[in-house]
A = this chain, B = another copy of it.
Amino acid sequence: MFTVYGKSDSGNCYKVKLALEQLRLPYRWVEVDSTRGETRSAEFLARNPNGKVPTLGLEDGSYLPESNAILYYLAEGTGLLPAERLGRARVLQWMFFEQYSHEPYIAVARFICYYLPPDSPRRAELPRLQERGYQALGVMEQHLGQSSFFSGAGYGIADIALFAYTHCAADGGFDLARYPAVAAWVARVRAQPRFVPLPG
């Protein structure tokens, strides 16, 4: 059985939960609160020297960090990942897009608005985060003008990766109503079998 070391209201951790639920894989969830320093303890750093959740505990006793690497590991050989080589590369294209051009803006804006006090000096970062986050949503909107999903012909792990922080982008001040194709895709993801919402 897998063990997920995660923070329940983190989008990156939610990705792993959603995939495990949709793949009907049994798992144990161990709550790790990164906002209280629990990812910097010696015990946690022995599992992931980079000190981040989610980290997946495997049956062989080893650990796998990085949400999108975990998604790929879980999805290989299932319907959540295309079988052919270029299809897999396009899934990775969107997952690297998510970690480089989307999450650092949309998730960080959410973190500042949602977790920090209203007078936090980090609110000064919001205009730049929102500008870049809207650029990422624009790239998604354009793709969704031609395709229903980000994982090839059907739903898969690139959709899970991008859904995690897109569906709650309003928490960071983003207005998804400006992106009708993204809003329709969010609804398509919510309608997938065995969908579970982000806790919190």
Q: Which residue from B49, B68, B103, B139 sits with its C-beta under 8 Å from A50?
A: B139
Q: Which residue from B76, B77, B96 sits with its C-beta under 8 Å from A69?
A: B96
Could you tell me the dominant secondary structure of chain A's interface residues?
helix
Interface contact B88-A72, CB-CB below 8 Å: yes
* A side interface size, CB within 8 A: 33
Q: In this complex, what residue of B is CB-closest to A68? A: B96
Q: Which residues in B have their C-beta under 8 angstroms from that of A104?
A: 100, 104
Interface contact B69-A101, CB-CB below 8 Å: no
A149 at the interface (CB under 8 A from B): no
Stretch at the interface among A25-33, A58-66, A174-182, A185-193: A58-66
Q: How far is the CB of A178 from chain B (nearest CB, A)?
A: 17
Q: Which residues in B have their C-beta under 8 angstroms from that of A58?
A: 86
Q: Which residues in B have their C-beta under 8 angstroms from that of A198?
A: none
A34 at the interface (CB under 8 A from B): no
Contact flags (1/0) for A65-106 with B, using CB distance below 8 Å?
111111011001100000001101110110111011101100
- Mark out the residues of chain A between 85 and 138 whose CB falls within 8 Å of any chain B CB in the assembled complex: 85-86, 88-90, 92-93, 95-97, 99-101, 103-104
